Amino acid sequence: MRRLLMTSLCAVALLAACGPAADLTSVPAAVFDAATTGQLQTNPLLAKWTGPNGGVPAFDKMDLLQLKPAIEAGIAAHLAEIDAIASNPAKASFANTIEAMERAGEPLDNAMTYYSIWGSNLSTPEFRPLQKELSPVLAEYQSKITQNGRLFARIKALHEDQANLKLTPHQARLLKLVYDRFQLNGAELTGEKRDRYAAINKQLAELQTKFSNNLLADEEGWVTYLTPKQIGGLPTSYVASAKAAADELGKPGMYAVTNTRSSMDPFLTYSTERKLREQVWRNYYSRGDNGDAHDNNTVITQILKLRNERVHLLGYDTYADWQLQDNMAPSPAEATKLMEAVWRPAVARAKEEVADMQALANSEKANLTIEPWDYRFYAEKVRKAKYDLDGEQVKPYLQLDKLREAMFFVAGDLFGFNFTAVPAGTISVFHPDVGVWEVTDKVSGKHVGYWYLDPYARQGKRSGAWASGYRSHATFDGPVTALVSNNSNFVKPAPGEPLLISFDDATTFFHEFGHALHGLSSSVEYPGLNGGVRDYTEFHSQLLEHWLLTDKVVDQYFRHYKTGEPMPKALIEKIKKAATFNQGFETVEFLGSAIMDMRYHTVDPTNLDPRVFEKEELAKLGMPKEIPMRHRSTQFGHIFSNEGYAAGYYGYLWADVLTSDAAEAFAEAPGGYYDKELAAKMVANLFTVRNAVDPGEAYRAFRGRDATMDALLRDRGFPIPVKDAQ
């Protein structure tokens, strides 16, 4: 997961947001029509944020009727600011061009924060038509900025003269990022090519929104209801939450398995009802692929054709070649080489896992051949048999509230942050389930930012877990502090019951908090430096996962929800010994999606049928029949509902390479994971600099060398290939 703001050209990475706007009185009033002026003065979605510490979003003022006029007026205002910058008769300077761009667009930025909340957390039947209508408008608006010839001429002049500009390192990095972003988005196109490029952007925005809403419709529309006789094997906590979900959906006396991963995964792991496991599995993995009004196959083909046409206008052979220009893996070939190196040992391990499951099923005289809907169920049985580890033994010690405290402890020890709950009603939220914490520096007491948490699944909330940024840190116009959020889809427990989660979910909880810490720790001067390249931004969050099983966290926060007793040492050791268990499944599941992503974006999409292409390409890969892609094509929102991870889903694997390598540095340090010197080096070189430093340089400054893949293979229990003799 991950939020991409579409305003002020800051749509570069997770948690990227724009900064404070210039005073709109600096723009000639004549450029605004009466409607725009009126909206800027009265629309609450455009209003400057008020409240403590530089202001916070007015979520209590969210009114869907105000959204369209807010977006339209915000676009008009920002384009007027951009035109004023481009038309400035003074010679281009960093201050009157790049810094002016950084200041521009606050009203629209504010409106886009609310738009994003409606799109991700509160989507409703009333919002979706508006989203469909506004997405091409926003795409057209962005094209008007990147294709503003006078503006790009100023940026290009600065880029070519930067040797004489005496820029600071942050300024030089920002200028490079802005120039590259414009160039990669068609700034130098003219005439028919320029017009076609803009038209394609509009069409893609419509199609990507359609893909997303089709997927959400299938998640909301397919529910499996169980009777009391069909809950065999399911944990008590799951049964209680499934009952609460059915009650909420108007099915009292039944139990609801919703069509989301958080509901599907535990059902497939524990249910003894094999036919129902198959039904739930098919519901989940057929999302967007049912040949009905919400089918995404044609949408995918249309998206791929348009992306391919657009990059051809820029002179690139494939979409992947264009997309990877700024990544740490600079070409599709390099990214593919990495994936293939891990694919072979992962498939071999997965085949061993299937053989273990089949042997266990045979020993139980189950009279079956392992199918995809059996994988989780028998994997859990094998885990118990091999490691004497039962996931249900672990969950009583993993309370969500305690894990949240554990994250705060880690953030305090490594980053020097203190988290204090903000009393309800003090800061507005968009749903009663959302909590807010003020983040301060432990030593100075200085305000750092606010952290929002939206933990529970609900109708209209997209599935999965992600981090969002409502405002990014910056200092160039005075300090602006960060506003970040974490969003999960835990099934809400029955009233009065604690929320107990699996170890995998606890890992994800820490992962997403890593994204939040990346935003909160920023020390960059300009808001536009708060982004990052796709195959680097996941590194920081994946690294934080390694603190979950440290002794300090386990001893203090892994407490039984009834007795308060710490998790037994023997159980902890079982978890650690089982760390490489099922890595074949998890790696193959992920890589199947990542490799398909790269293949979709390196082939000619003419006449491509996604259903056929997926089947044929996975067969060529040798994808085990028992394992589906983590995200089948028609539900692959990472790459088809927007372009954030398109031709870049492999980035999670590259981030894993960095993560495993960095984690070994902590494992070898005198103070282990809490080594003060190494932690300070990590925060200074990997977190606070955000995108103000080239990622490769940043990592070398931390580690003293480039990362190698050996640590990743060790982490997953895969063999390390013998190096060729030099």
- The pLDDT tens digits of the residues spanning 500-512 come to 999 999 999 999 9
Where does the pLDDT of residue 404 fall: very low under 50, low under 70, confident under 90, or very high at 90 and above?
very high
Cβ atoms 114, 57 nearer than 8 A: yes
b/e string for 666-700 if b means 16 or more Cβ within 10 A?
beebeeebbbeebbebbbebbbbbbbbbbbeebbe
Cβ atoms 242, 257 nearer than 8 A: yes
Q: Give the neighbor-by-neighbor strand order of the sheet with 435-441.
A: 417-421, 435-441, 447-456, 482-490, 466-471
Domain presence at residue 693: no
Where does the pLDDT of residue 31 fall: very low under 50, low under 70, confident under 90, or very high at 90 and above?
low
Q: How do residues 676-693 score in pLDDT, each as one tens digit? A: 999 999 999 999 999 999
Q: How do residues 256-269 score in pLDDT, each as one tens digit? A: 999 998 899 999 99
Q: How do residues 625-672 score in pLDDT, each as one tens digit? A: 999 999 999 999 999 999 989 999 999 999 999 999 999 999 999 999
Q: How do residues 82-139 score in pLDDT, each as one tens digit? A: 999 999 999 999 999 999 999 999 999 999 999 999 999 999 999 999 999 999 999 9
Burial (CB count <10 Å: 0-12, 13-18, 19+), residue 659: buried
Domain presence at residue 456: yes
Where does the pLDDT of residue 725 fall: very low under 50, low under 70, confident under 90, or very high at 90 and above?
very low
Domain presence at residue 690: no
Count Cα neighbours of 31 within 13 Å in the Cβ-side half-sphere. Answer: 17
Q: Which H or E run includes 489?
A: strand 482-490
- Segment 241-263 shows an average pLDDT of 93
> Total domain count for the chain?
4
Considering the domain architecture, whether residues 533 and 587 belong to the same structural domain is answered as no
Considering the domain architecture, whether residues 406 and 389 belong to the same structural domain is answered as no
- Segment 706-715 shows an average pLDDT of 90
The closest alpha carbon to 173, from 429, 464, 673, 529, belongs to 529
Among 649, 675, 693, give the residue marking a domain's end: 649
Predicted pLDDT of residue 200 = 97
Considering the domain architecture, whether residues 348 and 402 belong to the same structural domain is answered as no
Considering the domain architecture, whether residues 461 and 550 belong to the same structural domain is answered as yes
Considering the domain architecture, whether residues 408 and 525 belong to the same structural domain is answered as yes
Predicted pLDDT of residue 30 = 44
Residue 17 has pLDDT above 70, yes or no: no
Predicted pLDDT of residue 720 = 77
Output phi, psi for 467, to 5 deg.
-115, 150
What's the whole-model pTM score?
0.88
Predicted pLDDT of residue 16 = 36
Considering the domain architecture, whether residues 62 and 202 belong to the same structural domain is answered as yes
Considering the domain architecture, whether residues 363 and 492 belong to the same structural domain is answered as no
Mutual angle of helices 261-270 and 372-387, in 10-degree steps? 60
| DSSP symbol at 480 | B
Residue 133 belongs to a domain with what CATH number?
A: 1.10.1370.40
Cα separation, 510 vs 545, whole angstroms: 5
pLDDT above 90: percentage of residues in the chain = 86
Domain presence at residue 643: yes
Where does the pLDDT of residue 330 fall: very low under 50, low under 70, confident under 90, or very high at 90 and above?
confident
Considering the domain architecture, whether residues 76 and 149 belong to the same structural domain is answered as yes
Domain span at residue 520 reads 396-554
Among 616, 649, 682, give the residue marking a domain's end: 649
Where does the pLDDT of residue 36 fall: very low under 50, low under 70, confident under 90, or very high at 90 and above?
confident
Where does the pLDDT of residue 3 fall: very low under 50, low under 70, confident under 90, or very high at 90 and above?
very low
The closest alpha carbon to 330, from 640, 693, 648, belongs to 648
**Number of separate helices (H) and strands (E) present in the chain:** 28, 7
Predicted pLDDT of residue 219 = 92
Domain presence at residue 75: yes
Catalytic residues: 512
Output phi, psi for 490, to 5 deg.
-70, 140
Residue found by looking up tokens 């930025």 in the block: 109
Taking all residues of the chain, what is their mean pLDDT, rounded to a whole number? 92
Domain presence at residue 572: no
- Segment 259-286 shows an average pLDDT of 96
Predicted pLDDT of residue 421 = 98
Higher pLDDT, 597 or 27: 597
pLDDT above 70: percentage of residues in the chain = 95
Cα separation, 408 vs 392, whole angstroms: 25
Residue 311 has pLDDT above 90, yes or no: yes
Considering the domain architecture, whether residues 145 and 166 belong to the same structural domain is answered as yes
Tokens standing for 691?
């995108």
Domain presence at residue 562: no
Predicted pLDDT of residue 723 = 57
Q: How do residues 162-195 score in pLDDT, each as one tens digit? A: 999 999 999 999 999 999 999 999 999 999 999 9
Predicted pLDDT of residue 326 = 81
Considering the domain architecture, whether residues 337 and 376 belong to the same structural domain is answered as yes
3-class secondary structure, 610: helix
Where does the pLDDT of residue 531 fall: very low under 50, low under 70, confident under 90, or very high at 90 and above?
confident
Residue found by looking up tokens 């320029």 in the block: 194
Residue 2 has pLDDT above 80, yes or no: no
Tokens standing for 406?
């554990």
Residue 636 belongs to a domain with what CATH number?
A: 1.10.1370.10
Question: How many other C-beta atoms can be found within 10 angstroms of the C-beta atom of residue 612?
Answer: 10
Considering the domain architecture, whether residues 103 and 126 belong to the same structural domain is answered as yes
Considering the domain architecture, whether residues 373 and 482 belong to the same structural domain is answered as no
Domain presence at residue 269: yes
The closest alpha carbon to 122, from 44, 67, 50, belongs to 67
Among 180, 210, 240, give the residue marking a domain's end: 210
